[in-house]
Amino acid sequence: MIWAGTDDGNIQTTANGGASWQNVTPAAIKPWTRIFNIEAGHFDTRTAYAAANTLRIDDMQPHFWRTHDGGRTWTEIDNGIAPRPGAGAVANSIREDPRQPGLLYGATDTQVWVSFDDGDHWQSLRLNMPAISVRDIAVKDDSTCLCADLIAGTHGRGFWILDDVTPLRHLATRHVVPGEVFLVKPQIALRVRLGTNEPTPWPPELPAGENPPAGAVIDYFLPAAALGRVTLEIVDAGKQVVRTYASDDSILTPDPALDSAAYVRMCQKKPSTPDCGLPLYWPAPRTRLSAAAGMHRFEWDMRYQPIGSDSAQNAGDVLDVGAVPHRSVHTPTVPWAPPGRYTVRLTVNGRSYMQPLTLRLDPRLKTPAAGLRQLATLTTEMYQAAVRVAAIDTRSMPDSVARPFRRASKAALDAAMAMDGADIAPTAAQVAACARARAQVNQVLPRRARLKRVR
C-alpha cells in the first residue's frame, strides 16, 4: 500500500505496489494546493493522514485530512488549530505516533500541535519553541536509541527535540481518570556518561544545542496541590529504597544559576560556599520535587542516596570536566546504581502510585558481562558498607574513638568511587582497595557493639 501526494493538489494510492494507481483526492481540496506530506497509518493499512498546504492559493488556514477506508472517504481534521482568521497556520506535516493509536502530531507555519483523539481535537505543543514555520516532524523511537522523542525541523530556527513523549502516549490511552493523580510508566533509562571535552565548558556565547535529560525521566500529574509532603522513591528488585526525593528537600538559596549577583555576595561573605570557586554560568538551576498542581517532570540521576551531610537531593559538586554553560548538574559523591529492574514509588496525600523502571548500561559498551557483574557487586558492597558506618552516631564519642569510624566509612566510599569512572572490570588495584576498606569496616563495626554494651 503506497500513498503519494503532488504539489498541485492530488492524492493518489496504490494497493498493488504501483502496478496501478487511483486518484483519491478529497473533493474539497482545491487545485494548486500542495500536499506537503502523507502519513501512512502505522496500525491499519487503509488509514492515512495528509497535510494540505494552501499558502499558494492565499488560504492561510490549516487543512489536515484523515481516511480510514483507503481514501474512499476523507474527513478534514482541523478542530482547535488556529481558530482565528488569518492566523498564518497553513499545514505542513502530520505524523502518527508509531506506538500509540490515535496520537497525532501536526506541524503548521507557526508551531507544533498534538491530538489525542485521532485528529478530532488539537491543542498546542509549542511549549518553549519560537513561533516559526515547522516544515516537518518525526518521532524517533526504535531499539537503537531506546528513546521516544519528537523532532521538529523548522525553516530558519534549527532542529528542536521534545525529549520523551511517553506522557503524551499515556494521555492518549484514555485511561487517565479526571481529578486523580497519575504516575507515567518511565522509558528505559540509559546510564550514558557525559562528554568530557577539555577544556570545558564552551564559552557561553558559542551557539550550541542542548543535551537530553541526563537521568531517568519520571513524569507525574497532580490534579491539585498536595496537602502535605510528596515523596518519590526508587526501589530496587530487593525492595530496598536506593534513592528518596521529597517536596520539602532543602536546596541552596539563592541559586547561582538563577540569581548570580546574590550568590556572588554570599560567596564574598563565605568563600567556602558550594560553587563559589566556579564561573557561575556553569551550574544548572537546582530543582526540587514539586507538590503543586499540574504535570511535572523529574529526573533520577541514577545514583545511590547521598551520604550524611551530602544527603540533600541537589548536593554535590559541578564537575570541571564536561561542564556545559547553565546546564552543569551537581553530582553527589556516591556511585551509580547498577543496571536492573527498579520500581518508582510516588506518594501523595498518603497514597502511593508505582511504575516499573528498567535501568540499562550504554548499549555501546563492550565490557564482558563477568566484569560488569564484578563492578556492580563491589561498588554496591562498598557503598552499603560506607552507609552502615556513616549511620553510627559518633557525635558523643571522643575524637580519638570516632576517628576510625570516619576513616572506615571514607575508605569504603573512596573505594566505590574509584570504580565509578568507567564501566569496565575493576583493576587489581581497585579490588585491593576494596579489600582494605572491607577490613577497616569489619574492624570498626564490632567496636560499635562493644560501645553500646558499655553505655
pLDDT at 195: 66
The residue ranking higher by pLDDT, 253 or 66, is 66
pTM above 0.75, yes or no: yes
What grid cell was written down for 87?
Answer: 492566523
- What DSSP state is assigned to residue 133? -
Confirm whether 1-175 and 179-363 share one CATH topology.
Answer: no
Q: What is the pLDDT of residues 425-444, one digit of tens each?
A: 999 999 999 999 999 999 99
CATH number of 179-363: 2.60.40.1930
Report the alpha-carbon distance of residue 380 to residue 432 in Å, rounded.
16
Q: Does domain 1-175 have CATH number 3.40.30.10?
A: no
Query: What average pLDDT score do residues 89-118 get?
Result: 96
The average pLDDT across 322-350 equals 91
Strand partners, 328: 283
* pLDDT tens digit sequence for 30-46: 999 999 999 999 999 99
Asked if residues 32 and 57 have their Cβ atoms less than 8 Å apart, the reply is yes
Q: pLDDT (tens digit, 9 = 90+) per residue, 182-226?
A: 999 999 999 988 766 666 677 778 777 788 888 899 999 999 999
CB 364 within 8 A of CB 419: no
The C-alpha cell at 339 is: 543496571
Residue 365: CB atoms within 10 Å: 15
Which residues are 234's β-sheet partners?
Answer: 243, 344
Give the residue from 336, 424, 421 showing the smallest Cα distance to 372: 424
**pLDDT, mean of residues 249-262:** 88
- Give the per-residue pLDDT at 85: 55
| Mean pLDDT, rounded, of the chain | 90
Q: Where are the domains of the chain?
A: 1-175, 179-363, 369-454
Q: How confident is the model at residue 450 (pLDDT cuts 50, 70, 90)?
A: low
Q: How far apart are CA 217 and CA 233, in angstroms?
A: 13
pLDDT band at 273 (very low <50, low <70, confident <90, very high): confident
